[in-house]
Amino acid sequence: MYPQEPDRVSLAALPTPLIRLQRLERELGRGQIWMKRDDLTGLELSGNKVRKLEYIVAQALADGCDALVTEGTAQSNHCRATAAVCAKMGLQSVLLIRPQPGGVPAGNHLLDLLFGAKVKCFPRERFESDRREIVDSVLADLKKAGRKPRWVPMGASEPIGCWGYIRAIGELAEQLRSQALDQCDVIVPVSSGGTFAGAVLGKLMGRFQGIHLWGVPVSDDVAFHTREVGDLCRQTIERFALPVDFSDSEMLFMNSYVGEGYAIPYPAAIDTIRLLARTEGILLDPVYTAKAFCALLDGVRDDRFGNSRPVVFIHTGGIFSDFAWPETLLPEPH
Ligand SMILES: Cc1ncc(COP(=O)(O)O)c(C=O)c1O
């Protein structure tokens, strides 16, 4: 695709479909709404993480590594995708989970165990205060046991992982061209930042002027994400000598969709999950995609997108965590 692109292992079902949500448009009475179905990158591997892991795994294999070690919450989609990729590739996965989950494992946590991940749980406070020591000692123990582990940062958001969405934006641009959509707003949830950073760089690399990209923070404030995503973009540009002019103004955010905090759903997000399920038979998740879709709905309803342009939502997956929130998601009785 680009001469700077590193090797990748093909794991995801690509290209993912770009579909129009006409029943939702009718329900809202406005908008031209499209969805890029990155939730369909593969059942067990579903979502955005596998695009990043394709490059990370290729590098790990080239370096002779035989284990991936990473971190997240019990409902982390990234941990589940890493565990699934490792199972598929014959690697050991080790997941540092915090906080200690209670009750019977459900959703992503259940899948981590089925995929054979070694799961080590830590109270949140302990992990936060002793993070470096914990990670170092897990890696040292694996080495002592004869393994060659590779550390994967949270959300696989590291420079090589950004190639997942550099490539995805190229894929999307081609699909938009074939639908004669030369101007559109594209919306993506932002947490550890690698998806949005890759998308921003992908837009710059391909000079896709007609794509107006918006990140919707779902975990922290805009100042935090501007710093984190900006740093990741700069590191990726330097590491791969990307021929792009990047400045903070390339990162546009739609603010105020975090709610009370990461993984704390709010009523509008739950209503949005029900709306998409009812009108389109598509599942969003309460942590990432439902909050980001709230931003899309507000934008369409209030005509916030330029000249009522078509809008494209990148559905980054996450549906397994729906099974960990049954009481919250249960539809209102009619
Ligand atoms: C389903 C889903 N959507 C979006 C995101 C956000 O992507 P990123 O962490 O690359 O910002 C994540 C991961 O954190 C996720 O699991």
Would you say the CB of residue 42 lies under 6 angstroms from ligand 1? no
Nearest C-alpha to atom 3 of ligand 1 is from which residue?
Answer: 316
The atom of ligand 1 lying closest to the CA of 154 is 9
pTM > 0.85:
yes
Would you say the CB of residue 321 lies under 6 angstroms from ligand 1? no
Would you say the CB of residue 157 lies under 6 angstroms from ligand 1? yes
The atom of ligand 1 lying closest to the CA of 47 is 1
- Give how far the C-alpha of residue 306 lies from the chain's centroid of Cα atoms, to the nearest Å: 26
How many angstroms separate the alpha carbon of residue 81 from the centre of ligand 1? 11
CATH 3.40.50.1100 fits 18-47+158-329, yes or no: yes
The pLDDT value recorded for residue 306 is 77
How many angstroms separate the alpha carbon of residue 333 from the centre of ligand 1? 31
Q: Which fold has domain 49-156?
A: Rossmann fold (3.40.50)
18-47+158-329 and 49-156 share one fold: yes
How many angstroms separate the alpha carbon of residue 73 from the centre of ligand 1? 12
The pLDDT value recorded for residue 80 is 97
Q: Is 76 a catalytic residue?
A: yes
> What does each of the 334 residues of the chain score in pLDDT, given as a tens digit?
899 999 999 999 999 999 999 999 999 998 899 999 999 999 888 899 999 999 999 999 999 999 999 999 999 999 999 999 999 999 999 999 997 778 899 999 999 999 999 999 999 899 999 999 999 999 999 999 999 999 999 999 999 999 999 999 999 999 999 999 999 999 999 999 999 999 999 999 999 999 999 999 999 999 999 999 999 999 999 999 999 999 999 999 999 999 999 999 999 999 999 999 999 999 999 999 999 999 999 999 998 887 779 999 999 999 999 998 888 998 877 5
Domain boundaries, the chain: 18-47+158-329, 49-156
